[in-house]
Each structure stands twice: as structure tokens, then as C-alpha cells.
Amino acid sequence: MKIHNILEEIVRTSVDEYFDSLDEGKKDGCSEQCRLDVTCYVLNNMLPKYVVSTRGIIHHELDYSKKIQLKADVLSLVKKGYSIVSNRKRPYINTNTCKTEEDEEKFPYFYNFPNIIGKVINGTTFEPVSDAEVTLIIDDAPVFMASYLMENPIKLSKHTGGMFTFWPSPQRADKLDKEKSFMYKITVNHPDFNEYIKLIEITATSEENFLDSIQFQNRKTLEDIFIFPKGV
């Protein structure tokens, strides 16, 4: 028995159809990697839809009205992902925190940070919140993300069930195996809810190399964040 995320197939098909429909001028300089990046962006911004066995896949195919809405939602994210990808150049991992070559020599090592995952819940209905803006802050400024596919601040979408994720960019260090604590602040803002502020501390040990991909075992899952409507 196999578990299948039917969303992957729908997203891949939508990405291919969208790219194939582009004018030739817009296709210039956008390689197969662009399609993969857009696919990753969409999948990271939607809740997976798992089914077990062929029967589950058939059941989904029969749910026509929901499938039409799902495809519309996917296409909306594909267009947004394409806009982000087409306006960025590789490499995507931001490690250049030094202003000069001399600074790079003084700080040759890296503090790598975990993938930060959280969820925002309506404190009165216990339903996931959408359209809220979540920001990861350090030293009174939004934190640079390691990957350009991640946004900060991020606008919560109905597709993700109130979930958000951040991947802070690596920071330079002057010594190897040096431990340091970083104090971050997460803010949640929504016009209909009271502002929420949460402080989180992350301790990292400097390494010889920076991580250029998210490590599944290196993540920090936050407790659910409950926000309350204004006046409650």
C-alpha cells in the first residue's frame, strides 16, 4: 500500500501548462530549473493532499467541483511563483554577510539555522487563520531568508491552513565550533485581530560550510500561535 500526494501531479501539470503557454520572449533564460523552482514554491504554499490506494485517487477525480477550485488555486500560486523566479538570479543561498574580502577572511565560518515552522490559529474558533502577515525579525529588521523562494514577511494563505515557515540566512563566524545564541521576534498582524509578538531563541554552533538546502532533521517547530479578534 502506497501513500500518494495527488497535489504533486496537479501542480507539475499546471506548471508545465503555464510555462508552455508563455510567449517565446518570456521563455528566454528560464530553464527546466525554473519549472522545478516554481513547482517547489507552489507545493510549499499548499497543504498536501494524501490518498492511500487507487480508490482514493478515483474518489478525488469524481469530486469535480472541488478539483476545479483546486486547479484555480494552484494556477494562482503558479503565476506568483513564476513572477518571483523570473525576477531572481541564482545562486539563491544568501551567505554574503561580509562587506569586504577582508571581512570574509576574518569570518570564514557559518552559523546555520533550522527551518522554523509554525501555525496561526483563531483563538475563538480554533480555525487556521489566513490573510495574516507573519514576520521574522532580528535587531528590529526582517531576517534575510536563505532561499529566495521563502518570503519574509509572509502572508498566510488559505491553502496552507495557517502554516508558515522561515529559513534564516546563514551568518558568518570568526571561529569554528563557536556557540552563539540568536534572539528572534515573530510578529503576527491582521486587520481584524490583535497584534501578536513572540520571542524565540535559537542557539547555533559555527560550521565550516553553509547548508545550501533545508535539512529535514534540522527544524524548529513552534507551539501553535493563537490570536484573538479585536474587542475580544
Domain-located, residue 110? yes
Of 154, 164, 149, 168, which is closest to residue 33 (Cα–Cα)?
149
Q: Which of 53, 86, 119 is the last residue in one of the domains? A: 86
Whole-model pTM?
0.71
Count of the separate structural domains present in the chain: 2
**Is 128 in the same domain as 223?**
yes
CATH label of the domain that carries residue 195:
2.60.40.1120
The domain containing residue 150 runs over which residues?
Answer: 101-227
Domain-located, residue 96? no
DSSP secondary structure of 75-86: HHHHHHHHHHHH
**Is 76 in the same domain as 116?**
no
Domain-located, residue 118? yes
| Measured CA distances, 21 to 12, 15, 87 (Å) | 14, 10, 19
Q: What is the pLDDT along the chain (232 residues), one digit of tens a residue?
A: 567 677 888 888 899 988 888 876 565 556 677 888 888 888 877 777 766 655 554 455 546 566 777 788 888 889 888 888 877 655 444 555 545 555 566 778 999 999 899 999 999 999 999 999 999 999 999 999 887 778 899 999 877 788 898 989 999 899 999 999 999 999 999 999 999 999 999 999 999 987 766 666 678 999 999 999 998 7
- State the helix-helix crossing angle for 64-86 and 32-44, rounded to 10 degrees: 120
